[in-house]
Amino acid sequence: MSIPNETLKAMIRDYNGLELSDEELELVRPELESYFAELKKMEGLDLSDIFSGRLMNLSD
Amino acid sequence: MSNVDLLRMTISEMAPKIKNREVSPVELTEAALSEADRLQPTLNSFIQILHEHAMDQAREAEAAISQGKYLGPLHGIPIGLKDNLATAGITTTVGSKVLANHVPEEDAEVVTRCRDAGAIIIGKENLEEFAAGATSNNPHYGAVHNPWGLDHVPGGSSGGGGANVAAGVTFMSLGTDLGGSVRLPGTFCGVVGLKQSYGRVSQRGLMVTSFNGDHIGPMTRSVADSALVLQILAGNDPLDPSTVPVPVPDYSTYLGQSLKGLKMGVPSNHYFEMLDAEVESAVRGSIATLAELGAELQEVSLPMMEYIGAMRISAMADGVVTHEPFLKAKREDYSSDTFYRTVAGQFVLGKDYSKSLRVQRLIQEDYARVMQQVDFLVTPTAPVAAPRIDAKHVVINGKEHRVRGPGSGIISRFTSPFNHVGLPAITVPCGVSHLGLPIGVQFITASFEEGMLFRVSDSYEKVSPSQGLRPATAVGI
């Protein structure tokens, strides 16, 4: 999966993000590629029926 | 005994001498500051050495002890603090240019506990910029150098502390660990590094922390010292909702216990893939040693570890929010590695963040199941020994992996899972590479079972091939 720079720039514009030039977007791409690779791996997982493991902080 | 001999001791060895007034906290602190000054140009382990502050504390400690008001084993002991732990009235930079002049108004809770225990804070230690990496090659304050090989990184992000403990400058340094940042300096610098259970120690005052998985932990020269420090730091903090009111046991009672009959889990997946052959050999040697000590080996499977990379997704989003106040106003003060790695988080979609946290839950369940079967797990701490400072990549099984910046993460491959699942983990030296660089073995137990963790690691440490080894650059050398 690859997202074109135009889409990334639109996300920045429409969601009040931090502006990045085309050259800077290329520097960010390794992180995005990791993100997309992990999303692809998760495609086979059913995550619909999972609840939080957060601890309830009970008083002593 | 010479000052150098004193500085080379562990806290456990030094504490009785201070208590019995054989050693003066003032003289010990003077010696530590003198060595800190001497080694600073070589190791670059401090951002700030606190000469006056430390001597004031030392004189106070000496006066109190002479009046019979001994506070415990940290009283009069010179320690270091990573420079992302808030210290009231003392500049705390987080290794950044952005916060170069930031002076907190309050101490972090762990700093308060160390002060209350009478520790002498001799300096704020150098770290990776914003604690965001595994090398401690700080672009603003300079790289920290590994005492075992000055051209090599000490690990990160708490590299200054790892270097100081290894070199004998501090008896203990407090670091922070979001993905391995106490344990990686521990393994690369040949010292003990502890990440305790999530919720065991207050995070209040840990600056620019991430939202999910940060810990504050000690680097020490022995497991016994690690236990002693955790005894002081552990416990519920009513002002930190991430802490849990689980009673703190007497950790010292777990030291020296036999491992006979304990079940030792060795993962069959993830942890022995993608690692250097020398590291694997050293860690498998540790496993054999543990078996000789009486632990029973059991292979365990962690199938959900296939998805551990998904945790990077939530970390990306958390990171950009943590940095949001600074990214817009002071982007030019960031190094490019930290900036571009962080700003990538603005593209993470909410539903993908949710998926990442749900995967976290599945991975937690995997470990919960395994920890029902065994008493502890054994893994390598890092896939390699310390890389060179000038290395952009490490090569593992013929493949290049980035060391820092966007797309990096290989060095924390074996440490970061325990931040995500919250289990306590400790690294103990288990040998050296052909270059003489330390290798560490990592032990893990169930949540809030640090007693078991110390029992296992203390037993192993006593027979480790690293016993008696010292770095080439150290106090007195």
pLDDT for B38-89, tens place per residue?
999 999 999 999 999 999 999 999 999 999 999 999 999 999 999 999 999 9
Q: Which residues are bridge partners to B451 per DSSP?
A: none
Could you tell me the pLDDT band of residue B135, with boundaries at 50, 70 and 90?
very high
Indicate the domain borders of chain B. 3-463
| 8 A C-beta contact, residue B409 and residue B389 | no
Task: Provide the residue range defining the domain that includes A30.
Answer: 5-42
**Other Cβ atoms within 10 Å of B401 Cβ, number:** 17
Is B347 in contact with A38 (Cβ distance < 8 A)?
Answer: no
Rounded to an integer, what distance in angstroms lies between the CA atom of residue B104 and that of residue B208?
A: 12
Q: Which of B181, B222, B314, B408 is catalytic?
A: B181
Q: Which residues contact B372 (CB under 8 A, 6 or more apart)?
A: none
Taking only the tens place, the pLDDT of each residue in B278-289 is 999 999 999 999
CB contacts of B357 in chain A (<8 Å) are 52
Cβ contacts below 8 Å, chain A against chain B, sum to: 92
Q: Per-residue pLDDT tens for B120-129?
A: 999 999 999 9
Is A15 inside a domain boundary?
A: yes
Q: Quote the tokens at residue B316.
A: 């990306």
CB < 8 Å to A45, chain B: 307, 359, 362
Distance from the Cα of B405 to chain A's closest Cα (Å) equals: 9
Amino acid code (one letter) for B446: A
On chain B, the residues whose CB falls within 8 A of the CB of A15 are: 346
Start-to-end CA distance of chain A, whole Å, equals 50
Distance CA B199, CA B190 (A): 27
The Cα B329–Cα A52 span in angstroms is 35
Q: Is residue A52 part of a domain?
A: no
- The identity of residue B376, as a single letter, is F
Distance from CA of B391 to the nearest CA of A (A): 18
Q: What angle do CA B346, B182, B205 make, to 5 degrees?
A: 65
Over residues B89-98, mean pLDDT: 98
CA distance A9 to B330: 21
Mark yes or no for CB contact A53/B361 under 8 Å: yes
Which positions in chain B touch A58 (Cβ < 8 Å)? 245
Crossing angle of the two packed helices B336-343 and B311-329, in degrees rounded to 10: 120
Instruction: Please check whether residue B470 is in contact with residue B436, taking contact to mean a CB–CB distance below 8 angstroms.
Output: no
Which residues lie below 8 Å from residue B116, measured CB to CB, with a gap of 6+?
Answer: B71
Confidence of residue B407 (pLDDT cuts 50, 70, 90): confident
Closest CA to B146 of B440, B453, B437, B463: B437
Say whether B38 sits in a helix, a strand or coil: helix
Which of chain A's residues have a Cβ under 8 Å away from the Cβ of B347? 3, 8, 11, 28, 32, 35
Angle B476-B181-B265 from CA coordinates, rounded to 5°: 105
Nearest to B145 by CA among B279, B41, B33, B37: B41
**Region for B303 from its dihedrals, namely left if φ exceeds 0, alpha if ψ lies in -120 to 50, beta otherwise:** alpha
Nearest chain A CA: its distance from B245 CA (Å): 6
Q: Which of A1-15, B76-90, B103-117 has the lowest mean pLDDT?
A: A1-15
Shortest CA distance from A45: residue in chain B: B359
- Nearest by CB: A34 against B309, B357, B361: B309
Asked if A41 and B361 come within 8 Å (Cβ–Cβ), the reply is no
Is A58–B245 a contact, with Cβ atoms under 8 angstroms apart? yes
DSSP letter assigned to residue A54: P
Q: Which pLDDT belongs to residue A1? A: 67
> Which residues of chain A neighbour B346 with C-beta distances below 8 Å?
11-12, 15, 17-18
Residue B152 phi/psi, 5-degree rounding, is -115, 155
Q: What is the mean pLDDT of chain B?
A: 96
Of the candidates B241, B327, B357, the beta carbon closest to that of A57 is on B241
What are the backbone angles phi and psi of residue B21, rounded to the nearest 5°? 65, 30
Question: Is the Cβ pair A15, B346 closer than 8 Å?
Answer: yes
Architecture of domain B3-463: Alpha-Beta Complex (3.90)
Task: Count structural domains, chain A.
Answer: 1
Decide if B175 contacts B79 (C-beta within 8 A).
no
The owner of tokens 């689980």 is B246
Rounded (10°) CA dihedral B76, B80, B86, B89:
60
Which whole-number Å values give the CA distances from B310 to B30, B236, B420, B473, in the listed order? 48, 30, 11, 40
Known catalytic residue at B226: no
CA distances from B64 to B19, B20, B60, B77, B264 (A): 11, 13, 6, 14, 45
Confidence grade of residue A6 (pLDDT, cut at 50, 70, 90): very high
The answer to whether position A59 is within a domain reads: no
Q: Give chain A's contact residues with B (Cβ, < 8 Å).
A: 3, 8, 11-12, 15, 17-18, 20, 24, 27-35, 37-39, 41-42, 45, 47, 50-53, 55, 57-60
Residue A54 lies in a domain: no
Nearest-CA neighbor of B95 among B39, B154, B142? Answer: B142
CA angle centred on B314, ends B235 and A2, rounded to 5°: 165
Closest-CA distance, B64 to chain A, in angstroms, reads 34
Rounded CA separation B127/B181 (Å): 9
Is B456:B265 a contact under the CB 8 Å cutoff?
no
Q: What's the gap in Å between the CA of A38 and the closest CA on chain B?
A: 5
Section B294-314 average pLDDT: 96
B343 and A41 in contact by Cβ < 8 A?
A: no
C-alpha B359/C-alpha B365 separation (Å) is: 10
Using 50, 70 and 90 to split pLDDT, how confident is the model at B196? very high
Across B166-191, average pLDDT: 98
What's the confidence (pLDDT) of residue B105? 98
How confident is the model over B424-444, as a mean pLDDT? 98
Q: Which pairing describes strands B425-432 and B438-444: parallel, antiparallel, or unpaired?
A: antiparallel
Instruction: Collect all residues of chain A within an 8 Å Cβ-Cβ radius of residue B360.
Output: 53
Please tell me which residue in B157, B226, B412, B447 is annotated as part of the active site: B157
Residue B157 annotated as catalytic: yes
> Given a cut of 60, is residue A57 above it in pLDDT?
no
> What pLDDT, on a 0 to 100 scale, did the predictor assign at position A54?
67
Q: Which chain A residues are closer than 8 Å to B362 by Cβ?
A: 45, 47, 50
Residue keyed to tokens 């504390």: B57
- Check CB contact under 8 Å for A31 and B406: yes
Put simply, the answer to whether A50 touches B199 (Cβ < 8 Å) is no
Asked whether the beta carbons of B321 and A18 are under 8 A apart, the reply is no
Beta strands in B286-392 (DSSP E): 296-300, 376-380
* Lowest-confidence region among B149-153, B241-245, B452-456: B241-245
- Residue A58 confidence class, pLDDT cut points 50, 70, 90: low
- The DSSP call for residue B213 is S
- CA-nearest of B102, B98, B171, B107 to B129 is B98
CB contact under 8 A, B348 and A29: no
Q: Can you tell me the mean pLDDT for B464-472? A: 96
Q: Which two tokens stand for residue B211?
A: 């939202």
Burial class (CB within 10 angstroms; exposed 0-12, middle 13-18, buried 19+) of B365: middle
Global confidence as pTM: 0.97
B18: number of Cβ within 10 Å: 23
Reported as a pLDDT band with limits 50, 70 and 90, residue A11 is: very high
The two structure tokens encoding residue B237: 């903090």
Q: Do A45 and B313 touch (CB under 8 A)?
A: no
Both tokens assigned to B35: 């060595």
Active site residue B399: no
Task: Using pLDDT thresholds of 50, 70 and 90, give the confidence band for residue B462.
Answer: very high
Q: Give the DSSP per-residue string, B107-166.
A: --HHHHHHHHTT-EEEEEEP-SGGG-SSS-EETTTEE--BTTBTTB---SSSHHHHHHHH
**Yes or no, beta carbons of B364 and A12 under 8 Å apart:** no
**Quick check: is A33 in a domain?**
yes
Could you read off the pLDDT of B338-352 as tens digits, one per residue?
Answer: 999 999 999 999 999
d(CA B178, CA B373): 27
**ipTM here:** 0.93
